[in-house]
Structure 1
């Protein structure tokens, strides 16, 4: 049986764009852990890449901005035209059905190819899936898997999302078909900020969010189906670098939304390193330079891909899932 580990990157938050090799440092660490086992696991690494899908649209928008006589008189034009445009641009474009389909279709085709790489004929009964998502990649994947806006009756002729959902056990009406989702790992995730998630009021969780973007019912259905067949909670690890302003805690939020009794979900927020001595300054100063660092976190937001703690936690979670389902 194979453990398919699917990686999805987020949006760019630095001047250089995300490269297709973004997951290589993490993949190398996972393989090193696997080599220490007496009987190594059969790991199939599937990094998905969508970083250039919206590049043309964002470049066209930047060109329009630069035509304005005010552009050169504005502060932080480098920040506006690179990090901020790419970060918010990818998020906004994905919300549109047209751009969203382009991203999802790219991911679908790459995942299908990944299942067949290295001589494999495709996913086999008993195989497992593990999801490792970063930044906006978390939002994209969870939107595709769980949001009602992709239900067949709302997408006309496009059935790519339904095909993705049929790959995973418990997401479609045929609840006992598909591969078992055995762990989720979110890194630097802003998912709690998006309308995909419910927001908290003084008395708990509001139930008035637009249901087309609400992932809660389908996610809860998946977790319940998995619990019924595996008799175990789904491991979910949410990694947070203290200097990454895009990363937010999820543990309390998801228990409040989905699993108040904590019987179907095992989620933990994990700090990838202790705060530095100068980190408190970022909460007290208002200087423009510090604000820019605080907004994009320097290297913090991309640090998860080379973090040993993250690699070790992912591997042990995959290894434990292998013991339970074998």
Structure 2
């Protein structure tokens, strides 16, 4: 059993999934199941260096401050911490991926790492993908977009995880077959970004239908209630009752931090939003509830809340 992680925005540490891996292992151990093999795909080195960009912004602000010496420098660019943090990281990383050369480099890195992971585990035929944030968009793009040339690494990834006989335009030659058994999205903005990618619901259904397995493809979308980047998808997929895709949205309702909890108790919802959005978006990696739901999806098991 293979579990392959794809990270999202502002990730510069290759060990980003270590805590979640340990939590998932604890779930497997508790259920007396054999631990899966994990691989944390890492492509963060290809992303834009926002630090350099903000150094330039600071130079511009310093020049303005000299021109208007009586004004508070913070007034020229309000809400600096939010701009410099989560917001600019997400926007910067997303547009870096959409750059043709950078995006291809990122897809090539993921394709090479997935290939190595599969080849190094020849006795494991089940593949499970867990993607976060921008990583969910990359996965969605790779699986469904029609915008790629015949030699783009996206087609190599499709060939590896779909194992379709008609994938003849790639150089991928796996020594053994793997079957994609489940996908888990965490903190996914696909619903919004698909307005640009324009993947039609029938394309998703065709993807699920392409498998010969007797079981539908399990696809779980985890949404933290305070994560401004995460949204449900199920209704917009227009799935039929007999769909080959078993898709579920699942919600995490905990406060992202104690400041959010206090602000909400005082009716300060705007403040609660400001102090929680970044923590909520990154909270999945350290959340036992997330690990339990991912484990349910991987093992196709029931718990007290039903089937995820």
TM (norm. structure 1) is 0.74
> In the alignment, is the contact (CA less than 8 A) between 1:146 and 1:216 conserved in 2?
no
Give 1:275-286 correspondences, 5 Å limit.
Answer: 285-286=269-270
2:68 paired residue number: none
**Structure 2 residue aligned with 1:138:** 136
In the alignment, is residue 101 of structure 1 matched against residue 83 of structure 2? no
**19, 25, 41: which one pairs with 1:31?**
25
Deviation (angstroms), 1:123: 4.5
The range that moved more, 17-26 or 266-275, is 266-275
Matched, 1:220 2:200: no
3-state DSSP of counterpart to 2:300: helix
Q: Map Cα deviations across residues 133-180 of structure 1 (whole Å, 9 max, x no partner).
A: 11111001111122111241xxxxx442221111012666259x9521
Are residues 263 and 278 of structure 1, via their aligned partners in 2, closer, same or farther at CA, if it must alter by over 3 Å? farther
1:268 aligns with 2:266: no
Deviations 1:188-220 (A, max 9, x none): 1111001x35xxxxxxxxxxxx7x752645432
Give the TM-score normalised by structure 2: 0.78
- Unmatched segments (≥5 aa) in structure 1: 153-157, 198-209, 322-326
Q: 1:293 to 1:299 in 2, by over 3 A?
A: same
Gaps of 5+ in 2: 66-72, 169-175, 302-308
Q: Root-mean-square deviation (CA), in Å?
A: 3.0
Distance 2:189 2:272 in 1: 21
Q: CA–CA distance in 2 between the matches of 1:178 and 1:88?
A: 37
User: 1:159-238 counterparts in 2 under 5 A?
Assistant: 159-169=152-162, 173-174=166-167, 178-194=177-193, 196=194, 213-214=198-199, 216-226=201-211, 229-238=212-221
- Look up the match of 1:89: 92
2:4 counterpart SS class: strand
Partner of 1:11: 9
Distance, in Å, in 2 between the alignment partners of 1:248 and 1:161 is 25
1:227-273 C-alpha deviation (Å, 9 max, x unpaired)? xx22332211111111111111112222x2xx233522211111123
- Selected match of 2:296 from 316, 320, 325: 316
Distance in 1 (CA, whole Å) between partners of 2:201 and 2:157 is 18
Number of the residue aligned with 1:155? none
